[in-house]
């Protein structure tokens, strides 16, 4: 049996035995948890920089390793199958056509990506089809989001109709739905769109989709500001985490009944959602929170108790649906 990962020799000294994913004789390889995490991170970086050929090799290596959870093998096999289908010509991201979605070998900065999106090298049918295919079919949410950023700058009229049809006919993760709505607004799309979000039928005006936190109505900002003021007293780092948590929550809840409730112009609504956000924040950052203290701080009386619990339930729903590895989504 061979092991890839961190071990301990007889003297208690840590040793590391990395296994080359492209090496031979990979049967009976076992991964320590630390090396599994290393390979998962490395795989994500390969996909982000669209080094699809290297990603395929790593996936084949991981599939030959022993002793992992069955769900890991299912995820790796699904991703490998998709890569083989989408990029059969060695998986370089070029697909033999010469129209790569991304060229940089190193992980590009956000500014570099956006600059490339504004002026992609080619916008012929091959490029457009590749972007739209990844948008609709890639098994990783981050890649779907990147494709939607690219789609915002494609100069083809049919893109709007493709995105709208995808949103109204397919089950799309709420985070990706919101990114698609932002894409449509950036493309100048207007009019009503009826779609399913969090098991609700919602009607949205595409031109009203917020592109940043500042674009949301004032009631939404008031909820966050109230939490930031109170949380800062206990921990000056909490306002940052509160802002990121609120951004994530808004991406999920935008357009739903809970979101419409936030827009009510009364202090009780602000109190209830601010208290729910603060409670969720403490549970997320510290793993525990005192519900009684939170309700006292935000003035949640018995008459507001039911509304407060409903707000907590809405934010908990976001936590349950949060995709693995999704860091700090940006509205």
Task: Specify the pLDDT at position 191.
Answer: 95
Residue 103 has pLDDT above 50, yes or no: no
- Predicted pLDDT at 8: 32
Q: How far apart are CA 219 and CA 240, in angstroms?
A: 19
Q: What is the pLDDT of residue 183?
A: 95
Q: Give the Cα separation of 279 and 242 in Å (integer).
A: 10
Q: What is the pLDDT of residue 135?
A: 94
List pLDDT tens digits, range 246-285.
Answer: 999 999 999 999 999 999 988 999 999 999 999 999 998 8
Q: Is the pLDDT of residue 34 over 60?
A: no
Question: CA–CA separation, 319 vs 317, rounded Å?
Answer: 5
Q: Mean pLDDT across the chain, nearest whole number?
A: 79
Q: Tell me the mean pLDDT in the region 298-311.
A: 95
Average pLDDT estimate for 23-30:
48
**Which one has a higher pLDDT value, 97 or 111?**
111
- Return the higher-pLDDT residue of 208 and 30: 208
In the predicted model, is pLDDT for residue 231 greater than 80? yes
- In the chain, pLDDT over 70 holds for what percent of residues? 74
Residues 153-212 have pLDDT tens digits of 888 889 999 999 999 999 999 999 999 999 999 999 999 999 999 999 999 999 999 999
Which two structure tokens, joined as six digits, stand for 253? 């809840």
Percentage helix, strand, coil for the chain under 3-state DSSP, each rounded to 5: 60, 10, 35
Per-residue pLDDT tens digits for 212-227: 999 999 999 999 999 9
Using 50, 70 and 90 to split pLDDT, how confident is the model at 42? confident
Is the distance from CB of 280 to CB of 309 less than 8 angstroms? no
SS3 169: helix
Please tell me the distance from the alpha carbon of residue 178 to that of residue 209, in angstroms, as a whole number: 8
The CA dihedral of 261, 266, 272, 273, to the nearest 10 degrees, is: 50
Quote the CA–CA distance of 38 and 318 in Å, as a whole number: 28
Sign, Cα dihedral of 196, 201, 207, 208: negative
98-137 per-residue burial string, b: 16 or more CB within 10 A, e: under 16: ebbbbeeeeebeeeebeebeeebeeeeeebbebbbebbbe
Sequence-distant (≥ 6) Cβ neighbours of residue 246 within 8 angstroms = 213, 223, 224, 227, 277
């Amino acid at each position: 049996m061979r092991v890839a990962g961190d071990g301990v020799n007889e003297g208690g000294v840590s040793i590391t035995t990395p296994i080359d994913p492209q090496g031979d004789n990979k049967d009976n390889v076992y991964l320590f948890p630390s090396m599994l995490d290393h390979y998962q991170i490395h795989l994500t970086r390969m996909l982000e920089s669209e080094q699809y050929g290297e990603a395929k090799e790593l996936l084949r290596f991981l599939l030959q390793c022993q002793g992992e959870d069955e769900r890991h093998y299912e995820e790796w096999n699904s991703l490998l199958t998709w890569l083989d289908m989408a990029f059969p010509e060695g998986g370089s991201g070029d697909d033999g056509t010469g129209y790569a979605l991304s060229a940089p070998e190193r992980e590009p900065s956000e500014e570099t990506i956006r600059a490339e999106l504004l002026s992609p090298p080619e916008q012929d049918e091959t490029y457009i089809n590749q972007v739209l295919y990844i948008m609709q079919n890639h098994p990783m949410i981050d890649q779907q989001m990147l494709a939607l950023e690219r789609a915002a700058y494609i100069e083809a009229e049919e893109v709007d109709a493709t995105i709208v049809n995808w949103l109204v006919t397919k089950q799309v993760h709420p985070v990706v739905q919101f990114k698609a709505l932002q894409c449509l607004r950036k493309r100048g799309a207007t009019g009503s769109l009826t779609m399913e979000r969090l098991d609700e039928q919602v009607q949205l005006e595409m031109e009203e989709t917020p592109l940043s936190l500042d674009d949301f109505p004032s009631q939404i900002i008031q909820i966050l500001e109230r939490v930031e003021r109170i949380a800062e007293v206990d921990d000056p780092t909490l306002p940052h985490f509160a802002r990121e948590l609120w951004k994530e929550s808004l991406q999920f809840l935008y357009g739903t009944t809970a979101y419409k409730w936030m827009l009510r112009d009364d202090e009780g609504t602000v109190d209830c959602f601010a208290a729910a956000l603060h409670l969720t924040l403490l549970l997320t950052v510290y793993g525990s929170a005192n519900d009684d203290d939170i309700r006292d701080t935000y003035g949640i009386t018995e008459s507001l108790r039911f509304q407060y619990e409903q707000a907590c339930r809405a934010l908990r729903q976001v936590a349950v649906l949060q995709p693995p590895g999704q860091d700090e989504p940006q509205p």
